[in-house]
Chains A and B, each alone.
Chain A
Amino acid sequence: MTTYYDEVQELKQRYPDRRSAVLPALRLAQAKHGHLSTDALRECAEAIGTTPAYCEAVASFYDMFHLAPVGRHLVEVCTNISCALVGARQVLEAFEQELDVTAGETTEDGAVTLRPIECLGGCGWATIVAVDHGYRTHVQPDDVPGIVQELRDGD
């Protein structure tokens, strides 16, 4: 069983400067802890050989890192121009209704966090919804109950 510390040492080997491994190390820490908690940041810092404050400063710059707890699943609806033009707002509203949350919130049972997100680079296949980082294309409001059910069934 490879430990987090060992995995980060392996990552560091890929770069001339160990600090380049901060982003992948934060990604691993987040996957392990669910979000970048104080413990997660401390563990990351020890493995890299820097301070938790440095890791937090880096993490807070990037949208894919979460310094606060999030649900077990993440539903991200692209609301940039191309998706908005073909109905992203209606898709987001359908998720809000189905999950009984406002965009940016987590469901009461801690299962799903819903948020609008900036352009996911799939404008020709709008509306794009990233479900646990996997792209769903051409999403319509009618598809939303099925996606939510899928997440609940998988839990």
Chain B
Amino acid sequence: MATDSKRIVLAGVDEHDLTKLADYESIGGYSALTKARAMTPQAVTDEVIASELRGRGGAFFPTGRKWSFVPKPDQNPNPHYLVVNADESEPGSFKDNEIMARVPHRFFEGCLIAAHAVESRHIFVYIRGEYTGPYEVLVSALEELETRPDLRGDVTIVVHRGAGAYICGEETALLESLEGKRGQPRTKPPFPAVQGLYASPTVVNNVETLATVPAIIELGGAEYAKLGVPDSRGTRVVSISGHVERPGNYEIENGLSMRELIYGLGGGIPNGRTLKAVIPGGSSTVILRGDEIDVGYDFTSLLKLNTAMGSAGVIALDDRCCMVQLGIRVSEFYEHESCGKCTPCREGTRWMTQILRRLESGEAVQSELDLLLDVCDRINGKCLCPLGETAAIAVASYVDKFRAEFQAHIDEAGCPFGDSSPLHDVPAPVSLHASSPAAAEFV
């Protein structure tokens, strides 16, 4: 049975300062690495396959299988790379932030075990540029690790900082960015396992995925797989935010009900308001109505509702929120973050924003609601990466679940919520590439 207090990734954080190597070792840290290095790379991969661990970045791909796709060194003599996706940028997700800040050594231990499994001696951690706090924690943990050749072995670890681009969380865009280019996704295949970083075999794993690996080696894959529910084994660090009493990161056993997440762990909706909707897995996922939360927080249960755990960013919205306004904010985000490579995404997200703005201001006519869904449909499945598609799916789900509210914007020639909704008139981001007249005087 799923529980709310099973700690694997964040185990020991309240009792110890696990940013320190000595403290981490005092609770058995790095013993899984020693154990793994005594095993063959194949045996380590087999344990992870047995654990049924799936990627915690959002795509949910079986981790052990991903590792097994990497050619053996005798099949491909190029260096093998392990690249960590620490570019957490999905609105609603802040779990990797806390994992890196609180259990950097568990994370590095997982990296070193993974490197052993895929026979790599080069690890690159691509951390988003804005994460200055976690970056500093990683750098000092790495400095400690450098003094311990018995742990680091002959593996080099480079922490590489991004510079502000959501798209670099997409693995091929991340690899482009790490190669010093604009972060635009590549066509797949070839997949990174075959031709990734510098056209060499590369495994790209998420921070939480790797921070889970030491426990799998320690417990054994089969034992780890006893946690959670079928298709979603083990635990998940869930980020809860928005209209809840106690927002924050909570590590849960997969399968816990979403009601428990919001009303139990999250403490319910503040100020006596009621729950209107929940974004279950970051802004890229299909929204749930407030009455759809009696569902397990796991892959299969959410799939039945056509949605996903994604990167485990749960956002609660109370009854004051306007769904058209939500659509504008989400659409503007993806419009801003579209890399511009594929036309349906670059142009489509802009169209979505424009139509939604017309709906909000009351200028839209009936046919524009259909036009909005048509634009969404023309993005889906027509781009190299999922960025535009997730924007389209998310916004189309707001129309699907709250159609009457969208219709009311047309019928009443304006927004029924207006300024009473906290999402009213929220400014979109600004890039600082164009000259500001005031600043120019101070060159």
Q: A94 on the interface (CB 8 Å rule)?
A: no
Interface size band for B:
35 or more
Q: B77 on the interface (CB 8 Å rule)?
A: no
Q: What residues on A are CB-neighbors of B129 within 8 Å? A: 27, 62, 64
Q: What residues on A are CB-neighbors of B431 within 8 Å? A: 63
- A14 in contact with B158 given A62-B165, A87-B422 (CB within 8 Å): yes
Q: Bound complex: CA of A62 vs CA of B422, how far in Å?
A: 29
Q: B439 on the interface (CB 8 Å rule)?
A: yes
Most interface-central of A16, A70, A105 (chain B CB within 10 A): A16
- Closest-by-CB residue of B relative to A108 is B438
Contact of A135 among B79, B132, B181, B239 (CB under 8 A): B132
Q: Bound complex: CA of A113 vs CA of B162, how far in Å?
A: 21
Interface of chain A residues 1 through 57 with chain B (CB within 8 A): 14-17, 19-24, 26-27, 35, 37, 57
Q: A148 on the interface (CB 8 Å rule)?
A: no
Q: What residues on B are CB-neighbors of A14 within 8 Å? A: 158
Q: A123 on the interface (CB 8 Å rule)?
A: yes
- Min distance, Cβ A75 to any Cβ of chain B, angstroms: 12
Using a CB–CB cutoff of 8 Å, the interface residues on chain A facing chain B are 14-17, 19-24, 26-27, 35, 37, 57-58, 60-71, 79-82, 84-89, 92, 101, 103-108, 110, 113, 115-126, 130, 133-135
B89 touches A115 (CB 8 A): no
Give me 15 A-to-B residue pairs in the complex whose CB atoms sit less than 8 angstroms apart, sorted by A's number: A61-B183, A64-B130, A65-B163, A68-B434, A69-B442, A71-B439, A81-B315, A82-B92, A85-B243, A104-B432, A108-B438, A118-B91, A123-B91, A124-B239, A134-B132
Using a CB–CB cutoff of 8 Å, the interface residues on chain B facing chain A are 79, 88-94, 96-97, 122, 128-133, 158, 160-166, 177-183, 198, 239-243, 247-249, 279, 283, 313, 315, 317, 321, 326, 329-330, 333, 336-337, 339, 422-436, 438-443
B329 touches A69 (CB 8 A): no
Q: What residues on B are CB-neighbors of A35 within 8 Å? A: 432
B430 touches A16 (CB 8 A): no
Q: What residues on A are CB-neighbors of B247 within 8 Å? A: 82, 123-126
Q: Bound complex: CA of A15 vs CA of B161, how far in Å?
A: 13
B160 touches A110 (CB 8 A): no
B91 touches A80 (CB 8 A): yes
- Closest-by-CB residue of A relative to B339 is A61
Q: What residues on A are CB-neighbors of B97 within 8 Å? A: 121-122
Q: What residues on B are CB-neighbors of A120 within 8 Å? A: 130
Q: Bound complex: CA of A2 vs CA of B349, how far in Å?
A: 46
- Min distance, Cβ A37 to any Cβ of chain B, angstroms: 7
A23 touches B241 (CB 8 A): no
A69 touches B89 (CB 8 A): no
A58 touches B182 (CB 8 A): yes
Q: What residues on A are CB-neighbors of B91 within 8 Å? A: 80-82, 118-119, 123
Q: Bound complex: CA of A17 vs CA of B213, how far in Å?
A: 30
B430 touches A67 (CB 8 A): no
Q: What residues on B are CB-neighbors of A130 within 8 Å? A: 130
Q: What residues on A are CB-neighbors of B329 within 8 Å? A: 79-81, 84
Most interface-central of A14, A105, A124 (chain B CB within 10 A): A124
Q: What residues on A are CB-neighbors of B438 within 8 Å? A: 101, 105-108, 110
Q: What are the nearest 7 A-B pairs in CB distance?
A: A63-B164, A62-B163, A64-B164, A110-B442, A22-B180, A123-B241, A19-B180
Q: What residues on A are CB-neighbors of B249 within 8 Å? A: 124
- Min distance, Cβ A11 to any Cβ of chain B, angstroms: 10
B432 touches A68 (CB 8 A): yes
- Closest-by-CB residue of B relative to A104 is B430
Most interface-central of A60, A68, A101, A118 (chain B CB within 10 A): A118
A24 touches B427 (CB 8 A): no
